[in-house]
């Protein structure tokens, strides 16, 4: 049973500007509002996931990308409909921008039979070919070689479609990432890798994950561009990714973008993260990506309190609908477990 796709803001018919996004770097008023909508939607979605987790309604663990919303939303916003997305566990915003519905995401988190994975896996671990979303597996870095393969297929088929994927500051050290960049750079594949440096890998501070200054310093080791940006600055994330997307689409090869953010919550919902200095959190709180874009758009007089209320109404209504829909949806029948190891 397929459920309604893309969660659209009022009146906004389409986020992506056509098949192979040619949207200019400067954002229109409408686009600013779309971005704001998805930032709020992401934040509120993850808040409700946490609430559901505390109520014991989530199967397994629950991860959020609080602090990472601008990176997830801004990067996916630079993609066109035909582009491929391989999001990580902090990138719920990317799922949403690429058009995934709240219902489908709720069903995934609650392991329901009508979820996209049919309850075989949870959270963002699903594939939705209709939206060209291919979720991660738990093994950090393991999806990136697959993303390289999709970028290769795109090139061989002359699709002009690009592939956007992500890895964390910890996961960046996994060998899969290196082999992927080696292959993608030599083949000049349309791959964009965003390194989400959110200061921690579970309990491990980034200082124990790297000896160089920036993760983007690794790009030169593959002869590809690498930049480091403030991952809480939505416009900057979008524009940086847009440039990388156009470069990839033009056949000029991969780009590595280090997006510096902060993991504002624990590693997962069960983690109190006592190991994170309160002062550090306080510092970063000032750069809360959702508040930043809200303030910007209010200053620009783009976001009126009327629109804001409208969006909030819509978001909370949609969330309520999705939660209820998921709760009302049954788990898969037990015997389903035995079915589908092989494709026919």
Please name every residue paired with 164 in a beta bridge, in sequence order, or none if there are none: 85, 192
- Determine contact, residues 242/23, Cβ cutoff 8 Å: yes
x/- track of binding to other proteins for residues 230-259 (CB under 8 A): ------------------------------
- Determine contact, residues 249/190, Cβ cutoff 8 Å: yes
Q: How far apart are CA 325 and CA 167, in angstroms?
A: 32
- Identify which of residues 94 and 151 has a Cβ nearer to other proteins in the complex: 151
Q: How many residues does the chain have?
A: 344
Give the angle subtended at the CA of 159 by the CAs of 153 and 163, to the nearest 5°.
65
Count of residues touching other proteins (by CB under 8 A): 69
- Identify which of residues 249 and 263 has a Cβ nearer to ligand TPP in the complex: 263
Binding site for a copy of itself (CB under 8 A): 173-179, 182-183, 185-186, 188, 208-213, 217-224, 253
Other beta carbons within 10 angstroms of residue 35's beta carbon come to 26
168 binds Mg ion (CB under 5 A): yes
Residue 53 partner contact from a copy of itself, Mg ion, ligand TPP, none using kind-dependent CB cut-offs of 5 to 8 Å: none
Residue 130 partner contact from ligand TPP, Mg ion, other proteins, none using kind-dependent CB cut-offs of 5 to 8 Å: none
DSSP state at residue 261: -
Please name every residue paired with 272 in a beta bridge, in sequence order, or none if there are none: none
Among 17, 59, 269, 302, binds other proteins (CB under 8 A): 59
Among 34, 198, 216, 259, binds Mg ion (CB under 5 A): 198
- Span near other proteins by CB under 8 A; candidates 46-54, 175-183, 234-242, 294-302: 175-183
CB of 100 to other proteins, least distance (A): 14
Instruction: Write the DSSP string, 161-193.
Output: --EEEEEETTGGGSHHHHHHHHHHHHTT--EEE
201 binds Mg ion (CB under 5 A): yes
Residues that bind Mg ion (CB under 5 A): 168-169, 198, 201
């Amino acid at each position: 049973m397929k459920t309604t796709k893309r969660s659209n803001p009022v009146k906004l018919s389409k986020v992506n500007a056509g098949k192979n996004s040619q949207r200019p770097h400067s954002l229109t008023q409408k686009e600013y509002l779309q971005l704001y909508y998805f930032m709020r939607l992401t934040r509120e979605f993850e808040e409700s996931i946490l609430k559901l987790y505390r109520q014991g309604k989530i199967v397994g663990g629950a991860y959020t990308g609080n602090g990472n919303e601008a990176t997830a939303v801004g990067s996916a916003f630079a993609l066109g409909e035909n582009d491929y997305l391989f999001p990580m566990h902090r990138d719920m915003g990317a799922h949403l921008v690429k058009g995934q519905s709240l219902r489908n995401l709720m069903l995934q988190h609650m392991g329901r039979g009508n979820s996209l994975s049919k309850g075989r896996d949870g959270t963002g671990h699903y594939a939705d070919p209709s939206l060209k979303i291919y979720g991660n597996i738990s093994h950090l870095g393991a999806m990136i070689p697959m993303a390289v393969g999709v970028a290769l297929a795109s090139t061989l088929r002359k699709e002009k479609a690009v592939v956007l994927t992500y890895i964390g500051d910890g996961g960046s050290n996994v060998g899969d990432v290196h082999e992927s960049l080696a292959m993608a750079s030599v083949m000049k594949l349309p791959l964009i890798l965003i390194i989400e440096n959110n200061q921690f890998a579970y309990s491990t501070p980034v200082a124990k994950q790297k000896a160089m200054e920036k993760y983007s310093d690794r790009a030169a080791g593959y002869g590809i561009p690498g930049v480091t940006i403030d991952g809480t600055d939505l416009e900057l994330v979008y524009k940086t990714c847009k440039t990388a997307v156009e470069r990839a689409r033009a056949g000029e090869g991969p780009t590595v973008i280090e997006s510096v953010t902060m993991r504002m919550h624990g590693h997962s919902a069960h983690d109190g993260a006592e190991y994170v200095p309160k002062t550090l959190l306080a510092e970063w709180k000032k750069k809360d990506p959702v508040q930043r874009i809200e303030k910007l758009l209010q200053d620009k007089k783009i976001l009126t309190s009327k629109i804001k209320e409208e969006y909030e109404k819509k978001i909370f209504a949609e969330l309520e609908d999705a939660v209820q829909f998921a709760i009302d949806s049954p788990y898969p029948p037990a015997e389903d477990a035995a079915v589908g190891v092989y494709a026919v």
